[in-house]
Structures are given as structure tokens and as C-alpha cells.
Amino acid sequence: MKKFTRVSAIAASLALGTSMAIGVTASHAAGTTLTMIAADYPGDGSTQQAQWTDFATRFHAANPDITVNVTVKSWNDIDQYVATQIAAGKTPDVVNKGDYSAPAAAGLLYPASQMVSASTLADILPTFLNNSKYNGTVYALPDLASARALFYNKDLLTKAGVTKLPTTWSQLYTVLGQIHRKLPGVYGYALPLGPEEAQAEFNIWAGGNGGQYYDYATSKWVLNSAANVATATYLKSLVSKGYTEPNPDKCDRTACAQALFAAGKAVFINGSVFLGSWLKSNGGAKINFGTGSFVSNTGHKAVTLGVQDYFTAYKANGNQAAIQKWMDFIFQPANYAKFLVAAGGFIPATKSAGAKAASDPALAPFIKLLPNAVFYPGDIASWNAVKGQIQQGIGQAVTGNPNSVLNSLQTQAAAAK
């Protein structure tokens, strides 16, 4: 998940360049060997290596006729690695990463109903299954999810004399102006529209104005819709007033926006479930922050961004029965809990785990926002290409001409494959 993102929102900044082939390597005269490629969520090269080694070892002990070999790849490398393996005739059996629609469109995947047993499938939250469909069929199993919340620095708001959180764009504009006047050197809103995760930031703002990237009713990309142009125009007004950091088109989520928040140089920021722990490790342990809903334009409801990643199963090797046993094993409650912990702490995708997560004070605020979540159009096969175009270009819509930039992105999206 390039996240929250990536996920997919959340792991977009991970830079681990190595891969780790792990699993059970004992020889077997007869049996099935499954190959799996998995994203490295923590980015430390060891946490999930240990988790997958444990899973593969215990699974093989219970199923001696099935060996599982897992290759863990960084988020920077996994897309290209999977594509290269497939092109070389080494198609994996299972992949764990942030998309599924392109291989589903190409007819490469087993449907989810053949990936796990009926009881396992029934435990997965419908919200996430509905976001795992291609042409009406579920082709991917959600592995975990993330959502976003509006983080704010309580102490800076107090110093600026702000006593009530804004809920509309007009109220936010007023509050940011007050912060700008009262707190020199502090930005009211850290606006990361640099290439790391610009698609996430803009999606939240556009969603709060009734905008979207793709219109399912007309089956068309709508990046240059009136709602999106108005969103970019509003954000440009914040930038021109100095209410955000300068050059938001070059400001990435982690190194720029989160760093400003950690240093007490920004009051508001879009944050994932991991921002609190990230602050503790990156100089922001003393930040007295709160979380709440994003703001929206008058007449529209505030939204959050829901991000989920997926397990997909490829048909090339014909190992459907073994894949189902392996996936059922992963989703066993105790194993799934270990997966979530090793990944770093996400919103679970199963009903059984979700009930427990709702009582977790770190996750509860994000779970509360999920009913108003908007998701990327991940079921559109060209989404990966369009996402890359948005990441590289949409920040220029708030530093340049919103109309021309969004028109250009719309043209690129319509031509994307």
C-alpha cells in the first residue's frame, strides 16, 4: 500500500532495495512448490522476513506436500519485479501488493472464491471486498487497509487563538489566516503535492468538493471536472497567501510535510494511522496532536481516503488447491494478527479482527471515519499509469494554471493503458 500509501498510500517512501527469498527449502520428491512475492511493509528488511519464514515453516509442517517460497521486495521495486518475473515465464502463485486490476483484466488471476474457502471469504469485510472487483467479480483478497485523518497541533492552535476546529473550506481559510498572522514562521497547512503521494492528498480535497478521478456512471476519467478545477483553485489560494509551505508541488509527504509537522512548523496535516508512531521516531515526540475529520466545501460532506492492498493468485502454474490452503492458513485469526503486527499496524480486513481493532485507541479514530471513505479507482486497469501521471503533475495545478494542468492530465489519463 502506497500509503496508506500507498498504503498504498502509506509505504510509498520505503527505499529498501534488496529482496529476501524465504521459506522452506527442504527437498521433496513429490509435492507442490508455491512461489509468493510480498511487499515489505515496514521497510526494514527483517520484520516481515521473520514473519513469512515462520508462516512458511509452520505451514509446511502441517502440509508436508506443499512448500512455500516467499520473496520480499521493497515497495520501490515490487511492481517491476513482478512484471519481470511474469515476462520471464516465472509467474508467481501469490502476490501481495497494492493493485490487481491489470492482471485481472488480462485474465491471469483466480477469482477470490477460488483463493480461499467459503468460511474465510465470509469473514472478510464486504466494504473491502467490494473494492476488490473487476467487472463485477472479486479477483483479489484485501490484506489490510488504512485511512486518513486530519491531524492538528493543539498547542499551536491555542497560541493562535483558535478555539473551534474548522469544518468547511471557508472556515479553514479564516483559521489559516489567523495562524498566518499570529504565528510567523508557521504554516497553517502542510500540503504534500510532490510525487511521493500527491494522488492521495488531492483525492481527499477533491472528494470534499464532490470531485473524483473516475466517473463510473460514464466510464470515463474526469480529472478536469469542474469540481476538481475548483478544488485546485481553492488550494492555489491557500498557497498564494502563504498559508501552506512554498512549492507544494515539490513537497513530499514524509520528508517535507510530516517533517514540518514534527518540527512544530505546521498546524494541520493529512495523516495515516502511522503518523503518531512516526512522530515519536522523527523528532516529534512532544507534539501535542489531535485527530479529526477533514474539512469540505459548503454543501458537500467531508471524506477520508481509504487505501487497501491485496493478495492475488495467478493461474499460470495451476496450483489452485495449494494456494487455497496457503491463503486459508494466512487468514487464520492468530496468523492474520501476526501479519498485521509485522506489517506495522493497519486496519484489519476481516470481521473477526476488525471487532477487536475497534477498541484499539490508536485505530479507533480511523475506523470511525471509514464509512465516509473514498477509494482509488483500483478496478480500472489503467489506474497505475494514471496514478503515476497524477503524482508527477497534479501539484502544478496549485502553483500554475489549474485548468491547463488538469486538462493535460485528463488527456494523458484518457490515453493511458
97-132 tens-digit pLDDT: 988 999 999 999 999 999 999 999 999 988 889 889
Helices 169-182 and 226-240 cross at an angle (nearest 10°) of 10
Look at residue 72 and tell me if it is in a domain.
Answer: yes
Q: Are residues 346 and 371 in the same domain?
A: yes
Range of the structural domain that residue 234 is part of: 149-293+384-415
Listed in sequence order, the DSSP H helices in 344-401 are 351-357, 364-369, 383-393
The model's confidence at residue 416, banded by pLDDT at 50, 70 and 90, is very high
Q: Are residues 141 and 154 in the same domain?
A: no
Look at residue 226 and tell me if it is in a domain.
Answer: yes
The model's confidence at residue 207, banded by pLDDT at 50, 70 and 90, is very high
Look at residue 85 and tell me if it is in a domain.
Answer: yes
Whole-angstrom Cα distance, residue 33 to residue 59? 12
Q: Are residues 181 and 285 in the same domain?
A: yes
Cell readout for 231 is 478544488
Look at residue 15 and tell me if it is in a domain.
Answer: no
The model's confidence at residue 362, banded by pLDDT at 50, 70 and 90, is confident
Look at residue 3 and tell me if it is in a domain.
Answer: no
Q: Are residues 353 and 368 in the same domain?
A: yes
User: DSSP secondary-structure letter at 254?
Assistant: I
C-alpha to C-alpha distances, 268 to 107, 242, 285, nearest whole angstrom: 44, 14, 16
pLDDT digits (tens, 9 = 90+) for 4-46: 333 333 333 323 333 444 444 333 446 999 999 999 998 888 9
Look at residue 358 and tell me if it is in a domain.
Answer: yes
Checking if the pLDDT of 3 tops 60, the result is no
Helix, strand, coil content of the chain in percent (nearest 5): 45, 20, 40
Listed in sequence order, the DSSP H helices in 137-247 are 154-159, 169-182, 198-207, 226-240
Q: Are residues 119 and 240 in the same domain?
A: no
Look at residue 186 and tell me if it is in a domain.
Answer: yes
Return the pLDDT at 357: 85
Return the pLDDT at 30: 65
Q: Of how many residues is the chain composed?
A: 417
The model's confidence at residue 1, banded by pLDDT at 50, 70 and 90, is low
Q: Are residues 371 and 389 in the same domain?
A: no
Return the pLDDT at 20: 46
Q: Is 62 exposed, middle or buried (0-12, 13-18, 19+ CB in 10 A)?
A: exposed
Q: Are residues 388 and 340 in the same domain?
A: no
Summary mean pLDDT of the chain: 91
Q: Are residues 276 and 325 in the same domain?
A: no
| Highest mean pLDDT of the ranges 203-207, 273-277, 346-350 | 203-207
Return the pLDDT at 415: 97
Q: Are residues 123 and 158 in the same domain?
A: no
Whole-angstrom Cα distance, residue 155 to residue 191? 20
Question: Total domain count for the chain?
Answer: 2
Cell readout for 118 is 467459503
Q: Are residues 26 and 84 in the same domain?
A: yes
CATH number at residue 98: 3.40.190.10
Strand, coil or helix: 309:
strand
Look at residue 301 and tell me if it is in a domain.
Answer: no
Strand, coil or helix: 347:
strand
